[in-house]
Amino acid sequence: MSEKRDAIEVADQKLQRGDGGEYHQIAGGDGEVLTTNQGVPVSDDQNSLRIGPRGPLAMEDFHFREKLFHFDHERIPERVVHARGMGAHGYFETYESLADVTRADLFQRKGEKTEVFARFSTVAGNKGSADIARDVRGFAVKFYTREGNWDLVGNNIPVFFIQDALKFPDLVHAAKQEPDRGFPQAQTAHDTFWDFISLTPESINMALWIMSDRTIPRSLRFMEGFGVHTFRLVDAEGKSTFVKFHWKPKSGMQSVVWNEALKINGADPDYHRRDLWDAIQMGDYPEWEMGLQLFDEAFAEQFDFDVLDPTKIIPEEVLPIRRVGRMVLDRVVDNFFAETEQVAFCTQNVVPGIDFTDDPLLQGRNFSYLDTQLKRLGSPNFHKIPVNSPRGCPFANFQQDGHMRMQVPKGRALYQPNSFGGPREAPRTGFRTYPAEVSGQKLRMRPESFADHYSQARQFYRSQTEVEQNHIVSAFTFELSKVETVAIRERMVAHLLTVDEDLGTKVAAGLRLKSLPNAAPPAVEPRTDLARSPALSILLNGPRSFAGRKVGALVTDGVDAEILAALKTALEKEGAMLKLVAPMVGGVEASDGTWLEADEKIDGGPSVLFDAVAILPSEAGCAQLVDEATARDFVADAFAHLKFIAYSPAAEPLLRKAGILEALDEACIALDSSSDAQPFVEACRKLRHWPRETAVKQV
């Protein structure tokens, strides 16, 4: 009897103080009472209910069962594609009224601000993959307009791999891990992907885009976005105007080089996520301008390619972009799962004034996305999840029941028409599908106007600078070198020879094919008269400032306080930031005796994480760094990755040890005094010193 009484006392004492004795004193709390999901206060969240101190678990422990039940089910199926993403809240501001082309409410008033949620993502990788894989980036925006939600679901590339959504499962299955071995993931450098591409000529244009630097962006903030398809805008009178949607980053485009991408993934696989989060938290809000390419039936008829073909673009030089508003992302999510993971984008979500065309890929996406969200989120009521719910507008219908019904419907009638009330149609203001005329036989076929697969691929390649063309050659060579089946390599080279003889020949040489294959026979003879489009080049459309970028300063005790302060001031004036990298994360003591907290420890803050670097040790500090491998790598990698480098005279022994002292060029700027800081920052506006690339053979 006494043993039972002692056990009760022990249990009671644990109940009063919590497991671990001082738990409540250490953990504190904000005054809220912990409860079950039913609101029942929890007396002990540290110990399960059991029979005796060492006995079995009691099945009546409803708190344990509820907690473990929820934990067991707290992961939903990840997206088949676009699984790894990052989202943020913001607003879209209209520059001018677009009532001349659309009745869409968000475009009616100059200065109108519409709440948005944007999600950026990789396509092929799983949720746990690294951010800077060579991959297309999803660029999806949900507009919470006064007349419902509009989802503009696109990519950072304006064309796509396939022309018909029927082929989408094949494309994704080919790009994902090979099913027999479960690897590689988050990369296309393997047999099945290039086998599919080499057997699918319509994908060749996209292949050129994905082998360009657009698929290794420096930041989500520094990439373009596209709606991909041709849509319709419809005005109040019912007149239709074709439209292609563009997003232009206000900070300009920027990518990394391939070797740098590999090292960033090792140093920080969350690099893009962290960059977007940090920028918003610091008030450096990312901005994009929305641009429209507007055209009518007459333009569509005379244009060189079919505007319904999603593997084609309309060059900006042929049809200029009208910039109509800006998107500002100014708030991070409160909870990643509730918002970024549960947000459900559907291309079918349009509002009055925006409509579809007969683009076959778009038509298939309209069918697929709704089914996808039901599978992932487990209920036809996924639209009631807060991040998916309309805002600022009434919404009502007669739908009822289903898993996870969030509201309590009222009223007697759940049908239409009825005699008891409830929501009714809005013939004047409701969504009306544009009455396009359609006729023809029911056939499984492609139109002949979709058959030219090489002309725009050639145009894209020839629109790149020599540096960018070299990168495309290198990317194809690397990817195809991972393909084990020689016949697949040869088929791809055959396609590249049809695109551009110089491109195909260089890739064949890089792969050391024993003989050059014949060029692939095209279904339609490629055009050779398409003009170069400078808008397709990243380097020709770079930023005009260093704003939003980061300089990593490698410092030690005794760092020149005056020079460092001048560098920080110049960067802040530019809209950029300075991060201190030190031998120890605690910081360093500057030359004037002030203590400077470090942002990174040298082995955790490699130069690949920064857009430019400054090497600013004291003489004594440099003597220590020359024997530190990570310090030498910091310098050598910055040079190899073509970055602008500032250095103090005391840094020369480290530059020599890193093997670059004798190779210093005009992008390596000595900071002899504080007056040198401003010229260095101005030089950094070029982002990379491309003339160095040949010397370091870092293509």
Residues that are catalytic: 82, 155
Give the alpha-carbon dihedral of 58, 63, 65, 67, to 10 degrees. Answer: -140
Beta bridge pairs of residue 553? 580, 614
The CB-side HSE value for 300 (13 A sphere, CA atoms) comes to: 18
Q: Of 297, 325, 314, which is closest to residue 104 (Cα–Cα)?
A: 325
Contact 638, 689 (CB under 8 A): no
Supply 346's token pair. 């559907």
Report the C-alpha gap between 202 and 690 in whole angstroms.
33
Report the C-alpha gap between 339 and 334 in whole angstroms.
8
Note the maximum CA span of the chain: 99
* DSSP class of 76: P
What is the DSSP pairing of strand 85-94 with strand 322-332?
Answer: antiparallel
Estimate to the nearest angstrom the gap between the alpha carbon of 185 and the chain centroid. Answer: 17
CA distance readout (Å), 474 to 208, 358, 456, 510: 12, 37, 20, 8
Per DSSP, the residues of 88-119 read: EEEEEEESS--TTT---GGGSSTT-EEEEEEE
For the chain, count helices (H), then strands (E).
Answer: 20, 18
Supply 214's token pair. 């657009």
Look up tokens 């003889």; give the residue: 501
Give the end-to-end CA distance of the chain in Å, rounded to a whole number.
81
Look up tokens 């944007």; give the residue: 118
Contact 346, 151 (CB under 8 A): yes
The CB-side HSE value for 556 (13 A sphere, CA atoms) comes to: 20
Report the C-alpha gap between 47 and 104 in whole angstroms.
57
Residue 612 has φ and ψ, to the nearest 5°, of -155, 165
Beta bridge pairs of residue 249? 288
Residue 139 identity (one-letter amino acid): F
Contact 617, 648 (CB under 8 A): yes
Report the C-alpha gap between 186 and 177 in whole angstroms.
8
Supply 586's token pair. 């605690």
Supply 580's token pair. 């201190």
Report the C-alpha gap between 583 and 602 in whole angstroms.
5
Estimate to the nearest angstrom the gap between the alpha carbon of 34 and the chain centroid. Answer: 37
Contact 105, 145 (CB under 8 A): yes
Report the C-alpha gap between 449 and 576 in whole angstroms.
48
Beta bridge pairs of residue 286? none
Q: Of 394, 380, 296, 302, which is closest to residue 346 (Cα–Cα)?
A: 380
What is the DSSP pairing of strand 240-249 with strand 231-234?
Answer: antiparallel
* DSSP class of 604: G
Report the C-alpha gap between 645 and 642 in whole angstroms.
9
Report the C-alpha gap between 291 and 152 in whole angstroms.
13
CA distance readout (Å), 65 to 70, 72, 76, 315, 516: 8, 10, 20, 60, 66
Cα dihedral sign, 442-443-446-447: negative
